[in-house]
């Protein structure tokens, strides 16, 4: 007799097969039966008129720290999300091998962290134990971020790693893989990794391949040489024998007008030749990052007064403006498309473009003036870049190699994260189903569900998760196919999605009839040896 039955719904089992009317029985955290369970005397969650699917898997999340700060993950649970893959884009919480405090380099890319936050872990194994102790509401799988490896072991980030430094990085990577990480990520566009070369990446990828993990690459350039950057990822994967997953494939504005088409052709050709490659897209139309990326990392970890002095120096400003970084890359698409999103010390600038603020002046003066106003906490300033159109995202999403992720952090509408914002956090799954199924009609519902469930589960290596089959962990989303949608906007991003009735994580209801139960039954998932 099941402990709980989800009754009366239409099952989309995650395989892409057509919908069928069935009840789903759950016992001890697993699915025990699927079919007509009307005679069973069990507790029930009504799914009449709803679709019952596997819980959605966010293959590209940045919740490494927000799940520690507030593990309720309301933004995800309210969208039917039951699993997040963290450690993406070369950013993460482990390994950390220095003082036991977040350095400026790490802090700048870990949303939810605060400078001086004292941590009680250094290795990936210790971090995963810390995550488990937090009791997250969602399941968590991690990659090992190369940015952390470089910060820990490469003395000068403006140079390529030496043979000894690569060996030390590989030792930490092996520790992470043996602790249960699912692969390696790079963020080659960011300061700690900008000078990572083929020898380093290939060596690390060979290690990951030994463990059967994946290499998730935020590529080196996403504008002018975006095509060449994807070719670099393919080349390193090919030479090392690792399975490649390209993060947020769509290039930003500022490069060749047909860069997206060239990249898709390049990846399709590699897959047709037998190479193991997939990719994802996020669903927001804007890029988002820390404005502090406009300043070399070595200036960000020290005394705020020293940073302020540098930001006021004309020669330093001129040098920083000539640097190649993600902020100057944003500008390639036009400064009118780059806007201040969060600026605690300059709230009057929020929502305004760099062009609007600068007027006839130099856009870089705006950037460095804003950072100077925030010298005590330069990472607090976020900027957005309008980089995509709906049709571009949807056309990329149609590709058979493409799955979808948030590229955001888990957040909550109250508590310590209530004031945090991150585009995509509350919207990614709702947007994807609304756009691909109802508006653009590029997928049947069951195919869209497959790309959010079994497809990422298979890519990462999560066993039976992502499927509604007997014996699988009972991660389940119950939603109204005609109503599931995002509600967050650029101006008001922290609005809960609508249309999800129930979310069940490892057999325990976390969201029932549109309300949070406050239970947290997520697990830290580890790659099978």
269 is a domain residue: yes
Answer yes or no: do 225 and 306 share one domain. Answer: no
521 is a domain residue: no
Q: Residue 251: how many CB atoms within 10 A of its CB? A: 25
Q: pLDDT tens digits for 419-429?
A: 899 999 999 99
209 is a domain residue: yes
Answer yes or no: do 179 and 125 share one domain. Answer: yes
| 3-class state of residue 140 by DSSP | strand
Domain boundary among 344, 369, 386: 386
Answer yes or no: do 32 and 85 share one domain. Answer: no
Answer yes or no: do 228 and 137 share one domain. Answer: yes
Q: Residue-wise over 423-459: b if at least 16 C-beta within 10 A, else e? A: bbbbbbbbbbbbbbbeebeebebbbbbbbbbbbbbbb
Lowest model confidence (mean pLDDT) among 142-146, 180-184, 193-197, 293-297: 293-297
CATH number at residue 73: 3.20.20.140
How confident is the model at residue 248, as a pLDDT? 97
Q: What is the mean pLDDT of residues 64-69?
A: 94
Q: What is the mean pLDDT of residues 432-442?
A: 97
Answer yes or no: do 349 and 315 share one domain. Answer: yes
Answer yes or no: do 151 and 111 share one domain. Answer: yes
Summary mean pLDDT of the chain? 94
Nearest to 371 by CA among 362, 381, 361: 381
Q: What is the mean pLDDT of residues 86-92?
A: 95
- Number of domains into which the chain is organized: 3
- One-letter-per-residue 3-state SS of 146-170: HHHHHHHHCCCCCCCCCHHHHHHHH
Answer yes or no: do 393 and 428 share one domain. Answer: yes
109 is a domain residue: yes
How confident is the model at residue 114, as a pLDDT? 63
Enter the tokens of residue 409: 């952090």
Answer yes or no: do 241 and 361 share one domain. Answer: no
Domain boundary among 351, 386, 421: 386
How confident is the model at residue 101, as a pLDDT? 45
Query: Residue 97 above 90 pLDDT?
Result: no
- One-letter-per-residue 3-state SS of 422-435: CCCCCCHHHHHHHH
How confident is the model at residue 100, as a pLDDT? 41
Tell me the percentage of the chain whose pLDDT exceeds 90. Answer: 84
What is the reported pTM? 0.94
CATH number at residue 478: 2.30.40.10
Q: Containing domain of residue 512, as a range? A: 4-54+465-486+496-516
Answer yes or no: do 8 and 48 share one domain. Answer: yes
526 is a domain residue: no
Answer yes or no: do 148 and 250 share one domain. Answer: yes
Q: pLDDT tens digits for 489-513?
A: 998 999 999 999 999 999 999 999 9
Answer yes or no: do 381 and 403 share one domain. Answer: no
529 is a domain residue: no
145 is a domain residue: yes
- Provide the pLDDT confidence category of residue 112 given band limits of 50, 70 and 90: confident
Vertex 355, ends 352 and 358: CA angle to 5°?
A: 95
Q: What is the mean pLDDT of residues 161-178?
A: 97
Which residues touch 146 (CB under 8 Å, ≥6 apart)? 90, 169, 184, 185, 186, 187, 193, 196, 201, 204
- Beta-bridged to residue 132, according to DSSP, are none
10 is a domain residue: yes
Domain boundary among 340, 370, 386: 386
Answer yes or no: do 345 and 456 share one domain. Answer: no
């Amino acid at each position: 007799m099941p402990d709980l039955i989800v009754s009366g719904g239409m099952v989309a089992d995650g395989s892409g097969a057509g919908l069928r009317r069935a009840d789903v029985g759950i016992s001890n955290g697993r699915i025990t039966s699927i079919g007509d369970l009307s005679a069973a005397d069990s507790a029930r969650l009504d799914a009449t008129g709803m679709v019952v699917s596997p819980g959605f898997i966010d293959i590209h999340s940045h919740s490494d720290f927000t799940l520690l700060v507030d593990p309720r993950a309301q933004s995800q649970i309210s969208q039917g999300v039951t699993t997040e893959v963290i450690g993406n884009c070369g950013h993460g919480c482990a390994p950390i091998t220095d003082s036991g405090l977040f350095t400026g380099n790490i802090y700048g890319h870990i949303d939810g962290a605060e400078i001086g936050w004292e941590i009680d872990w250094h290795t990936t194994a210790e971090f995963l134990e810390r995550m488990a102790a937090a009791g997250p509401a969602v399941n968590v799988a991690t990659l090992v971020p190369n940015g952390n490896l470089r910060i820990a072991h490469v003395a000068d980030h403006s140079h390529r790693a030496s043979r000894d430094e690569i060996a030390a990085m590989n030792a930490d990577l092996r520790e992470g893989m043996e602790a249960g990480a699912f692969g390696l990520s790079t963020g080659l566009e960011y300061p700690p990794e900008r000078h990572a070369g083929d020898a380093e990446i290939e060596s690390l990828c060979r290690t990951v391949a030994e463990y059967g993990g994946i290499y998730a690459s935020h590529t080196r350039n996403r504008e002018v040489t975006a095509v060449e950057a994807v070719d670099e990822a393919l080349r390193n994967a090919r030479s090392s024998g690792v399975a490649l997953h390209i993060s947020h494939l769509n290039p930003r504005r500022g490069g060749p007008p047909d860069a997206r088409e060239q990249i898709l052709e390049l990846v399709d050709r590699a897959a047709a030749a037998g190479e193991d490659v997939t990719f994802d897209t996020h669903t927001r139309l804007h890029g988002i990052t820390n404005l502090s990326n406009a300043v070399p990392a070595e200036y960000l970890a020290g005394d705020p007064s020293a940073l302020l002095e540098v930001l006021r120096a004309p020669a330093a400003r001129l040098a920083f403006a000539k640097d190649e970084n993600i902020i100057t890359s944003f500008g390639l698409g036009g400064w009118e498309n780059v806007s201040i999103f969060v600026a605690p010390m300059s709230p009057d600038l929020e929502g305004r473009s760099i062009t609007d603020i600068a007027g006839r002046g130099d856009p870089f003066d705006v950037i460095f003036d804003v950072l100077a106003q925030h010298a005590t906490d330069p990472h607090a300033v976020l900027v957005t870049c309008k980089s995509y159109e709906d049709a571009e995202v949807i056309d990329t999403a149609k590709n058979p190699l493409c799955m979808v992720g948030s590229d955001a952090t888990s957040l909550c509408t109250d508590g310590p994260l209530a004031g945090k914002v991150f585009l995509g956090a509350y919207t990614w799954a709702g947007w994807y189903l609304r756009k691909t199924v109802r508006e653009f009609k590029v997928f049947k519902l069951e195919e869209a569900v497959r790309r959010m469930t079994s497809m990422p589960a298979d890519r990462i290596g999560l066993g039976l998760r992502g499927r509604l089959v007997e014996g699988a962990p009972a991660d389940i989303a119950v939603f109204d196919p005609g109503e599931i949608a995002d509600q967050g906007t650029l101006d008001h991003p922290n609005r809960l999605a609508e249309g999800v009735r129930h979310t069940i994580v490892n057999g325990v209801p976390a969201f029932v009839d549109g309300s949070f139960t406050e239970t947290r039954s997520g697990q830290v998932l580890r790659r099978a040896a």
